[in-house]
Every structure is written in C-alpha cells, then in structure tokens.
Amino acid sequence: MLPAFEDFEPLFTAEEIQRRVAEMGREITRDLEGCDDVVVVGVLKGAVVFMADLIRHLPQDVVSCDFLRLSSYEGTQSSGSVRFDFDLTQPIQGKDVLIVEDIIDTGLSMSFLLEALKPRSPKSLKIATLLHKPARQQREVQIGYLGFTIPDRFVIGYGLDLEGKYRNLEYIAALRPEVQAKLTPRPEHDYG
C-alpha cells in the first residue's frame, strides 16, 4: 500500500531550498572561474526542478545543458543493475561536466554514471546533488556540491515523486516516521 499525501510532513520549505540553491550556484560559479565550456547534465526526471533553478545562478556565457536518464528499479525495488534509458546528446570530451542529481542514497546509480562518463574524456566531472541520504549508502561517490543531508526517510516534492506525483511541490516533504515504519515493502525512488 502506498502512502497518502497526508502521511508526509514538510522537511524543507521553498524558501530554505531556494536559499541553498543560490548558495550552491555561487559556490559552483566560483569554482568555474576560468572555465569556458561547461556542460550541466541533468539526471531525469527528478533533477529537472533543481537543475532549472540552479542554472539560473551559473554564468550564462559558458554553460550548456544536456540530460540523461538511468534506471535501476523495477517497481519499488532495485534490480541491482543500472542502465541508460536516455543518453547525452552531445560529446563531453575536453569539457567541464557538472552532473545535477536530485538525491543520492545508495550511490549505485551515480557510481555507474561516473564510470560510464569517464571514458568519454571530460576535462572534469563533478556532482551537484540537492539531497544526500548517507544512511543508505552502499557505494561512496565524491559529491562536489551538496544541498542538504537528510535522514533515512522517503521524500517527495521539488522534483521527487511518489508514483509520478508530487514533483511539482515547491517544498520537500518526508514520510512521517511512524507511517514509514508500517509500510512493507518500503517505497523507494529510482535514484542513485
């Protein structure tokens, strides 16, 4: 049984998110000084909202955007293998690449993605993620820019979904702990 919207409580307000995204944009812009060709890669579908807000804080004259999509889940459980559903539309050789992800929890998908992109010879390869859930981490990945660290709770909003819904919430909500403890199987996202 899937949880209802009423089973969630606010975790981060729209204002808190926007403030942190602007700070991340300033950090990234500082680090991009001297770069002349940066490809910001959004991991579909969850990162779209975060990426749209983040790129507004980056230098307009050096940034281009692309997208890719990975899948590793069947239903609510990880299949254990990751694959590309949709790949980049441009070469990244010799370019600075910033991967934008909504959340990193197990690290499996992001580890797969980094290993898949390295042979394409980018000049640099960094990750910006809005959320990190270290309690579920199975594989360590180097996060260059982090919005928030969160506890092991299922979250929706600001790009994150439950069965395709709630991505358009301006804030992030977390499943109430007492509800999450009762759910079997536990809902999971298809993120890295």
Per-residue pLDDT of the chain (192 residues; tens, 9 = 90+): 788 999 999 999 999 999 999 999 999 999 999 999 999 999 999 999 999 999 999 998 999 999 999 876 544 344 457 777 888 999 999 999 999 999 998 898 899 999 999 999 999 999 999 999 999 899 999 999 999 999 999 999 999 999 889 999 999 999 999 988 887 665 665 555
Q: Residue 184: which residues within 8 A CB-CB, separation 6 or more?
A: none
Nearby residues of 51 by Cβ (< 8 Å), 6 or more positions away:
40, 42, 65, 100
- CATH says 16-68+82-154 is which class? alpha beta
pTM of the model: 0.90
| Kind plus residue range of the DSSP H or E element containing 31 | helix 14-31
- The four Cα atoms 6, 8, 11, 14 give a dihedral, to 10 degrees, of -50
Domain chopping of the chain, boundaries: 16-68+82-154
Contacts of 131 by beta carbon, 8 Å cutoff, 6+ apart: 102, 103, 104, 147, 148, 149, 150, 155, 160, 172
- How far apart CA 14 and CA 11 sit, in angstroms, is 10
> Which residues are catalytically annotated?
105
Asked if residue 96 lies in contact with residue 124, where contact means CB atoms within 8 angstroms, the answer is: yes
Which residues does 119 contact at the CB level (< 8 Å), separation at least 6?
none
